[in-house]
Each structure stands twice: as structure tokens, then as C-alpha cells.
Chain A
Amino acid sequence: MAETLTSACAPVLAPSVKSSVLDDEAVLRESLRRCAPSTVEAALAYRSTGDTSQLPAIILGIFERFVEPDLRPRLAGESDDLRVIEDLGLDSLTMMEIVMLVEEVTRTRIENEELRGLVTIGDIKTFVECRVRGVPPPAPAKTVLGDEVRAIMPIQAPFLFLDDARVGPSQATASYRITGQEFFFAGHFKDNPVMPASIMLEALGQLGVLHLLAGLPVDEGKVVDASTIFFASTDGVRCARVCKPGDVLTLTLKPKRVKAPLAVYTGTIRVGQEKAVSVEEITLTFGVVDAPTAAPAVSMTQS
């Protein structure tokens, strides 16, 4: 009976040959059989040499296999910032399938709690690479929802242009839905509401403020003083798309250099997949003070 059962379910292994190298390769090829040949080759190379430079190609290749064909072109360009759920249309169960395959190929384990902090393809690449190298992965980004954003920020309505955000040491992202009720639409423009480019730049600057206050690791016992943060300079601003009420802006900011008193970021704003604004450099000044001993206003540990 066992024989008839297994004959119906082709690619399972007889236990006696499980350990042979050839068979490992066969199992790996079977598991990756819907991935591109280059992904399979990268996985085999990683398995035989332990060369971690293969990992990005392996992870991207595994994502490509699970993304619906019409969204796959998005993976062709710069993909590290792509959010697995929002940008690639994958649900959490598909994410489980991806994680299982990544675990199998890289022989690592990713726990459920760790998975929650991984939002973009870049997050996952970094996490897996750290895991296989045996170094601790960076603190995961944390989600900061609207109420908390307003609690943290020194800037408030009607001049706050962040809804929900995710901030981590190496990246901050936020969304802002243009409601049409913003005060400046009364005059910008007459009978033609268009989000001012200066306000979009302001929104990126505000995300920098949030990063300094909620995402930046600073020394034990220190905090960034919210009252010391100011705009300093910007460079290389390009606007590519007119944004109007109803659009949801996705803001992304990456720190290039952060050392008090200067924080230099590079940033983009997208609407869906369309790039609206890119900024080569946006610089804020800030100061660090001793943390209040009783209850720090903002936790820096992202525990």
C-alpha cells in the first residue's frame, strides 16, 4: 500500500537516500522548479560554497516565482524598497510560502515574530544575510500609526503631512492621503487643487523629523530634542507628477549620514508605482540631550 501511495505523489524522498549530496540537489531543484534557472543556479552555488553574495539573487528569484505575472516587471528595477504586501500584492499566507522556501534554500529559520518586522524585499534580504552570517539583524522598523505620529511630532495640524509611518534605523516610510480639505487648496490653484511641491518637500522633511525622534538609534541615556530640529538645506529636487486630492503619497527616506548636528537623507515620494518627487539630499539639524530619567518621551530601543 505504501508503494502505491508514493507512486501517486512523485517527488518525495525515500529516507535511505536522504543524506546524499545528489539527492539534496534534486530536492532543491524540485523545490525551486518554478523559479528562473538563474535562481536555481544561485541556490546551488550558495549551497556548495556558502557564498552569501548569492543571497540577494536567491531571495529576489523566490519572490519573482510567487508574484502574479502582471506585477513581476516591478521586480526588474530597484526592488529593495518594494513592500511585499502593498506593492507586490502578496498576502500573509503567500509570505509564509516565500519564507518556507527561503528557509529551505538557505537552511535558516525565521520565526513568526521576526517576520512581522520585515516589510520590504530589502528588509528580508538584510535579515537573511545577517542570519546566515551569524550576526544579529538590525533592529526592525516599527510602525507608527496616526495618533502616535501626532504624539511624537512637534509639528501639528494643519501643517502635519504624515498619516501612518514605519521607521527604522536605515529607512523611514510614511503615507499621506491628500484629503482636499488642506487649507492651501483654497488658493493653490484657483479651481484646480494641486499639492504644492514645497509642501511635498515639507512632508519629506517631517518624515526626517519622525526618523530622528523615533527611528534613530542614539546613545544610552540620550534623546534627540524635538525642539532643536530644523530644516537646513536641500539639493537635487525633481518633481515628476502632479498630485491631487485623493492621491495617497508614499514617502521614503533613507539616511545617508547622521551625526549630530546634521542628518542628511535621500528621499522619494510615489503615488502607487509612479514617482512623484525625488530629492537627492535633504538635510536637517538636530541636537541630542540627556534623556529624562523618569519616563523617556520617546523610546529609542524599539523593543
Chain B
Amino acid sequence: MRRVFITGLGFITSIGNTKAAVEQSLRELRHGMARYPAFEADNSPVKITAPVREFQTDAEDPEDWVIPAPYTIKREQLRSLAPNSLYAACALQQAIADARLAPEDVSNENTGLYAASAGSPGILARQVNRMNQLGVMRCPPLGVVASIAGSVQFNLVSYFKIKGASTGFASACAASAHALGFAFDEIALGRQKRMFVIGAEDGNRETILPFASMRALSLNTDPDTASRPFDKRHDGFVGTGGGTVLVVESEDEVARRGATPYAEVLGWGQASDGHNIAISHPEGLGLAAAMRRALASAGITAADVDYINAHATSTPIGDASECKALRSVLGEQASRVAVSSTKALTGHGLSLAGAMEAGFCALALKHGFIPGSAHITELDPACDGLNIVRTTEAVQPRIALNNSSGFGGANVCVVLKAP
């Protein structure tokens, strides 16, 4: 098995569109929540989201979107992009520059791309409306590849001339963690030398508000407290969108290029709840199993872990379930290991979450800090026995875990180590 490293990062997120801005937000606990015009309709009880800044992608026609410098996208590429693919394309440009990859490093048979996104329900709805009202032959020719699940890798693989392995992951909120796990496997098994791992979501009305009737979203109208995982008054998640890209490379490539890794990926694990389509297992059994497998895959024990970036989305049931899983796996280490949910700052990015939070862990491992769990005024008693850190601490973690859980009870845990 070859060793695997994260060597480049790109972020388009609610807490920053560069890695420097993201790190500053994590250190200063600056959140990205805001009231959102598209949620202002009277029939929406949900008012807060964590929008991507500087971009404007609510217009129906991508040619009306605002795309900030330094990004420019030609019309022939723009026409097949949903907001998620646009954010992913910009984050991938950043990540390629950050990893100092030459064009030949990006486009070759040993470099692949795994993406996670749930498609673009907004664009799909507009297409179907158009088809019903104006006729089948009046739909944009590239509407399919702009909207269906998979549109992120379809667009980016062609746009960036990727020639290695490519596919997409659709395990909802665990999807980009799955993408990272399987990208790790590709490299560890020697099938690829380099993988781009991408999570991306539109983060607009059509991707977020469908969670409202499920009672999964926070109805809190105060941007400063709407997302508060582990707080006693947490009442649902706040949705977000954006794109994150991790460049993952084999140790041989790291040595050949003289790259400076952010972190090593030691291993990963996954397991399913076998319980309910949308509700976490009440005892967190699936997540606990995923964490144990991840530790075994990495060849470490709970005693080696310094920090866990929890999945905790700020829903009472989900947060409590994860707390049980954490206590079960950490055992006597539970009161020592620092745990936080950065979703208090970013909101919940759904398919984006796993890659985005693995990226946060990579920054923390590289630059020596542990991000705090913001917005907790009174800790939920469900967190008893755990070390939920409320402020960002300037201590160097050696090993970090990143948890993700998705619909159907899919759970993924990824183990990262300081370089």
C-alpha cells in the first residue's frame, strides 16, 4: 500500500473563497450565515442560509451570473454548468495552483477526478417546466449535463482534460467523504498517482428548502445562532453550497514534485446504519462502526486521536446520535479528544460537507490549530463526557478524524495525520 497525501486545497465556501480566508474564519470563528432573499417568501419558515459570497448564481441564465475575478469562464463551458459545477471549477483552479501542478500533471492517465454532488434540482425543475410549456425541442441542448447528478464530474473532467479515473458519488451528506475514501484507495492500491476530490452543491432555494418539510432545517431567524451544533437549543441545520477540491497524491509523486503536503491520509472506514432513510441510528451504531474501521485501516487507536471534526449538523437527533458514537469509540479517551463541528460556521454543505471539512482538517494539521465549535451557549446534555471545544485553540493536532453521515444511514470516517 502506497502512502497518500493531501497536497493542494481549493475553497469556494460560505466562510471564504480562498484557503487564507477560510483559515481566518476558522481561527476567528466567523460564520457565513445570512438572511437570503430567495427564502423571504411568506410560505418559507426558513429564513437563514450560508450563501457563497461574491458569486451571484440565482439567475436562470448562466450568462446573467456574476463570477468574481480572477475566474473567467467561456460561454461554451458556462452553458453546461450548474452553480455547483461553477464553484467546483473555480475551487479546482485554486487547488491546481495551490499544489503547483503543471498542465501535464493535471491531464494524464494517472490523474483522476472523483466528485460528489446531488445534481442541480433548480436547473432540472426549470428544464422540465420549459419542456412542459414550450415543447420538448425548446429545451437547452446541454440541460441534461447541467442538471443531473454527475454534472460536476462531467463538466470538470472535460473542462480540465482529465484522463484518469473519474466518477461521482451520490451518498448525499456522506458523498464527498466517500469520494475522498475511494480516491485514497485508488492511490494506495497504485491505480492512480493523483486524484482530485471534489464536493459541490448549489446551496440555493431548490437544494435547501426541500429539507424544510422534513423538519431538518433551523427555523431560527438569527444568523448568529441559527447553526449551533451541540447547543441545547439547536433546532435544525442551516444549508450552504459552494465547492471544495482536495488534491490527493501518492508519496512517489510528492517526492518527485517536491510537494509540501498539508496532511497524510492514513485510512478510512465506512458502515451503514441499516435503520432509517433519513434519521440517524439512535445509538450511532453505523457511525461508530465506520470510525472503528477507519482507526483499524489507519493502524491507530483512539489514544492516537487529537481532534474530531464531527458531522454534527445542528439537528437534535443527529447531534445526539453522533455523541453516542463518539463516546462508544473513544471510550476512556472521550474526555480528552477535542471535538467540534465547523458547521456552526459554514452551515451544512450536504454533498460538499465531507471534502470541505477534510480540507479544514488539513489546514488545521498543517498550520497547528483546532477549530472551535461556535455558537454554544449551553451545551446539550447529550454531549456529556465529550470534550467539545468551543473556541479555536492554537495547539498542534497530530491526528484528526473527519466524520460524515448521509441519507440511508451511510457513514464515513477519514483519518488524517499532520505532515
Q: Give A contacts to B, CB under 8 Å.
A: 4-13, 15, 18, 27, 34, 66, 68, 91, 93-94, 96-97, 100, 103-104
Contacts and interface: CB of A to CB of B under 8 A. Distances in A.
B135 to A, nearest CB: 10
A104 B138 contact: yes
Interface of B: 38, 41, 43, 60, 63, 74-76, 79, 122, 125-126, 129-130, 133-134, 137-138, 140-142, 205-206
Given A96-B141, A97-B140, A11 B60 contact: yes
A13 B206 contact: no
B388 to A, nearest CB: 38
A68 B74 contact: yes
B43 A8 contact: no
A4 B125 contact: no
Contact of B134 (A7, A12, A96, A103): A12
A8 B74 contact: no
B122 A15 contact: no
A6 B41 CA distance: 13
A15 to B, nearest CB: 7
A94 B76 contact: yes
Contacts of B63: 34
A100 B129 contact: no
Given A15-B133, A68-B75, A91-B76, A8 B122 contact: yes
A4 B41 contact: yes
Contacts of B74: 68
A9 B141 contact: no
B133 A100 contact: no
The listed residue with most B CB atoms (<10 A of its CB), out of A9, A34, A104, is A9
B205 A8 contact: yes
Contact of A8 (B76, B125, B134, B140): B125
21 contacts: A4-B41, A4-B43, A5-B129, A7-B41, A8-B122, A8-B125, A8-B126, A8-B206, A9-B60, A9-B130, A12-B130, A12-B134, A13-B133, A13-B134, A18-B133, A27-B134, A93-B76, A93-B141, A93-B142, A96-B141, A97-B79
B206 to A, nearest CB: 7
Contact of B60 (A10, A15, A18, A66): A10
Given A4-B43, A13-B133, A94-B76, A100 B60 contact: no
A9 B126 contact: yes
A65 B142 CA distance: 17
Nearest to A1: B43
B239 to A, nearest CB: 16
Contacts of B130: 9, 12
Nearest to A90: B76
Contacts of A100: 137-138, 141
A96 B140 CA distance: 9
Given A68-B74, A94-B76, A12 B129 contact: yes
The dominant DSSP class at the A interface is helix
A212 to B, nearest CB: 39
Contacts of A6: 129
A105 to B, nearest CB: 12
Nearest to B140: A97
B252 to A, nearest CB: 38
A11 B74 CA distance: 24
Contacts of A91: 76
Contacts of B38: 8
A32 to B, nearest CB: 13
A12 B122 CA distance: 14
Nearest to A9: B126
Contacts of A9: 60, 125-126, 129-130
A5 B125 contact: yes
Contacts of B129: 5-6, 9, 12
The listed residue with most A CB atoms (<10 A of its CB), out of B41, B140, B141, is B141
A33 B176 CA distance: 38
Contacts of A4: 41, 43
Contacts of A34: 63
Nearest to A2: B129
Contacts of B134: 12-13, 27
Contacts of B60: 9-11
A27 to B, nearest CB: 8
A184 to B, nearest CB: 40
A150 to B, nearest CB: 35
The listed residue with most A CB atoms (<10 A of its CB), out of B41, B43, B133, is B133
Nearest to B204: A8
A20 to B, nearest CB: 15
Contacts of B206: 8
B286 to A, nearest CB: 33
Nearest to A31: B138
A97 B141 contact: yes
Nearest to B135: A104
Contacts of B141: 93, 96-97, 100
Nearest to A95: B141
Contacts of A15: 133
Contacts of A96: 141
A10 B137 CA distance: 19
B73 to A, nearest CB: 12
A146 B41 CA distance: 64
A268 to B, nearest CB: 29
Contacts of A97: 79, 140-141
A75 to B, nearest CB: 16
Contacts of B41: 4, 7
Contacts of B79: 97
Shortest 10 CB-CB contacts between residues of A and residues of B: A9-B126, A96-B141, A12-B133, A12-B129, A13-B133, A9-B60, A5-B125, A9-B129, A93-B141, A97-B141
A18 B134 CA distance: 9
A257 to B, nearest CB: 42
Given A68-B74, A93-B142, A100-B138, 12 more contacts: A5-B125, A5-B129, A7-B41, A8-B38, A8-B122, A8-B125, A9-B126, A9-B130, A12-B130, A12-B134, A91-B76, A96-B141
A58 B257 CA distance: 54
A68 B63 CA distance: 12
Contacts of A7: 41
A34 B60 CA distance: 14
Nearest to B209: A4
A27 B134 CA distance: 10
